[in-house]
Structure 1
Amino acid sequence: MDLNLRHVRAFVSVAHLRSFTRAAALLNLSQPALTVQIRRLEEALAVRLLDRTSRSVAPTRAGRELLPVFQRVLRELDGVVVDTRDLAARRHGIVRIAALPSVAAGLLPDAIAGFRAAHPRMGFVVKDVIAERVLALVRQEEVDLGVTGGEVRDPEVTVLARAADALHVVYPDGHPIGEVASVTLEALAEHPLVLMDAATSVRGVVDAAFVAAGRRPVTACEATYMMTAVGMVRAGLGLTILPGSAREIRAEPALRSRPIAEASFSRPVCLIAKAGRTLPAAAEDFLEELIPALEAEFAGGG
């Protein structure tokens, strides 16, 4: 059975208006053409839908039963068409983005606020996860964009922009590390450290720097979230190493931070998308806000 939507719309119009003349005018058709469309729909369904006399038109019992079904189908289809046109015209949409927690709490809120000021009907879904999850979410197309840490070498992913986030040591006010001329790896190796989880991009940078120097850090404990690491530093368990962009660094008035004066303590930050896929219009537009925000946030971070 081959149902033609024009034929369905013709039947709904006649049944609603109870007039071929008015329905033909509404649909901008001649009455003979409208009659042909109704007949073809009846042939496709193998049932009579309308009883027509010289004075009136009325749906048959089958027509009355099918009318609400056809009306719902047309409403839903018309809604899809309107929504699709709105998306294409960038009047509304949803941007799905996965980002490192430091980025999700740092540059992302202001970038989203700036974008929504110009596009108030745009919505966002933000997943704040560690670097491995950002990459996986982009690869699986669960998000449109990702901001991840570390170098990205994955044929399934396209890097749209790159930046660098200098790492800082975070310590209690009055700690000896605050008195050294510059914070080096050798200076860090002298103190217990609260390290981030091994799956995080920060930990990858720290481990690589210590391995390259032939040293091992003195590990007091590990934490998955930066705020947890900050709390451990506040409790006197050791120093921690966090990205300079992390808002957690400024969350505790009794703690201080200093950049680490070695190039190896710099975390690459990449804005990524699924390779070979067309971005939704909303995500494409948001890039115009996000890329400058990324560049400003990490200016001089390398």
Structure 2
Amino acid sequence: MDLNLRDIRAFIAVAQTGSFTQAATRLHLSQPALTVQIRRLEETLGLRLFDRNSRKVALTPTGRDVLPLLQKSLHDMEHVLIDARALGDGASGTVRIACLPTFAASSLPELVQALKEAVPRVRFQVRDVVASMVNTLVRNEEADIGLTGGELDDANLEVLHAGIDRLVVVCPKRHALAKQRRKITLADLAATPLVLTAQGTSVRAVVDSAFANARCVPEIACEPTYMMSAVAMVRAGLGVTILPASAREVRAEPELVARPVDDPAFTRPIALIKKRGRTLPPVTEAFVAMLIAKLDAK
């Protein structure tokens, strides 16, 4: 027979009051019902917990030893129930998100702060990685949601929201592309050394596809993995780079400017995803709603 929380509460109440009558009043029970609970607990433990006669109730020596153990067990179990209810109603929990570095460095901090204000007990686990790794982390359930880029073709993943991120050319203010009045074309880019993020990144996939469809071969000067590295190389004069317009790196360097590309191919699909068939924690559902509202507002 398993221990019953009601029986443990009954034992503690009798031990604290030294009276079945007072303990029954405290617990809003009849005295016979309280007696049944104490007897059931004694049978479960195989111990006599109280010595009682017509005038008083006293803990047995074994009962005195058991009291702090059951008090701790009751305290722990009550907190388990409180914590479980908080998880169930979204009052606490952990948001596990994998996302593109662009998003992690731009919109994510503001969203994290907003949810923490609404749900102070929320925690976040953030993995800022390239798109292919975002998909892998969500697929392997190492993250519950992911904000990924590029075309998504994976039956294991469900798209919760889809959108686009426009790409721009980032170059020094003194660069010829920054000075020309017309919009930058793919032909302009083909004639300019490029600093492109490495293959496997969602931005690189868009750029490679645009050049391939135009049957153009770009001159690639460097292939860093991260956008901040690409920006540093542009600042050093190694070429120009192509980044999402939403990237914080675009605005971080006062001597660099961003210019639009006159080509519809220079847009990056983005998608908010989860693993198909998996239920999100309530606190993560709340974060998803905030995130979708943010993406729709762009």
User: Does TM, scored on the shorter chain, surpass 0.5?
Assistant: yes
**1:118, distance to aligned residue in structure 2 (A):** 4.1
Correspondences of 1:173-212 after superposition (within 5 Å): 173-178=173-178, 179=180, 181-212=182-213
Structure 2 match to 1:100? 100
Aligned-pair CA distance for 1:127: 2.4
CA distance in 1: counterparts of 2:214 and 2:130, whole angstroms: 26
Deviations 1:111-163 (A, max 9, x none): 33344444444443332222122222222333332111112222222111111
CA distance in 1, matches of 2:38, 2:60: 13
CA change 1:47–1:119 in 2 (3 A) is: closer
The superposition leaves residues 229-254 of structure 1 with CA deviations (integer Å, 9 ceiling, x where unpaired) of 10000001111111111010111111
Alignment-derived partner of residue 259 in structure 2: 258
CA distance in 2, matches of 1:67, 1:119: 36
Displacement after TM superposition at 1:20 (Å) = 1.3
Whole-angstrom CA distance in 2 between matches of 1:194 and 1:133: 22
Give the match's secondary structure for 2:223. Answer: strand
Task: Report Cα offsets for 1:42-83 as digits up to 9, x if no partner.
Answer: 222222222223332222232222222211111111112222
What do residues 252-283 of structure 1 show as CA deviations (whole Å, max 9, x unaligned)? Answer: 11111112221221110101122212222212
Give the secondary-structure state (helix, strand or coil) at the position aligned to 1:127: strand
* Within-5 A mapping of 1:129-140: 129-140=129-140
Q: 1:186 to 1:180 in 2, by over 3 A?
A: farther
In structure 2, the residue matched to 1:300 is none
Counterpart of 1:7 in structure 2 is 7
- Unpaired segments of 5 or more residues in structure 1? 298-302
Contact residue 21 and residue 31 of structure 1 kept, 8 A = yes
Alpha-carbon distance in 2 for matches of 1:12, 1:117? 38
State the one-letter code of the partner of 1:226.
Answer: M
TM-score (norm. length: structure 2): 0.91
Q: Aligned pair in 2 of structure 1 residues 38, 163: CA closer, same or farther (>3 Å)? A: same
1:64-79 aligned within 5 A: 64-79=64-79
For residues 198 and 66 of structure 1, the distance between their equivalents in structure 2, rounded to whole angstroms, comes to: 64
Matched with 1:273 is 274
1:156 aligned residue: 156
Q: Is the 8 A contact 2:90 2:281 kept in 1?
A: no
Give the whole-Å Cα distance in 2 for the aligned partners of 1:86 and 1:5: 20
**Identical columns (%):** 54
Secondary structure in 2 matching 1:241: strand
Could you tell me which residue of structure 1 aligns to residue 233 of structure 2?
232
Conservation of the 8 A alpha-carbon contact between 1:107 and 1:294: no
Aligned-residue offset at 1:172? 1.2
Q: Give me the CA root mean square deviation.
A: 2.0
Residue deviations 1:184-214 (CA, integer Å, cap 9, x gap): 2222111211111212111111122222222
Q: Does 2:214 correspond to 1:213?
A: yes
**Shift in CA distance, 17/141, structure 1 to aligned 2, threshold 3 Å:** farther
- Asked if structure 1 preserves the Cα contact closer than 8 Å seen for 2:100 and 2:128, the reply is yes
Q: Which residue of 1 aligns with 2:125?
A: 125
Report the residue type matching 1:107 in the other structure: S
Structure 2 unaligned regions, length at least 5: none
Q: Tell me the equivalent position of 2:53.
A: 53
CA 119–7 in structure 1, closer or farther in 2 if over 3 Å, else same? closer
Distance 1:195 1:296 in 2: 28
Counterpart of 1:218, as a letter, is E
Q: Report the equivalent of 2:62.
A: 62
CA distance in 1, matches of 2:11, 2:111: 50
Contact 2:168–2:243 under 8 Å retained in 1: yes
Distance 1:260 1:229 in 2: 18
Question: Structure 1 residues 82 and 207, CA, compared in 2 at 3 Å: closer, same or farther?
Answer: same
C-alpha displacement at 1:219, in angstroms?
1.6
Distance in 2 separating the partners of 1:56 and 1:194:
87
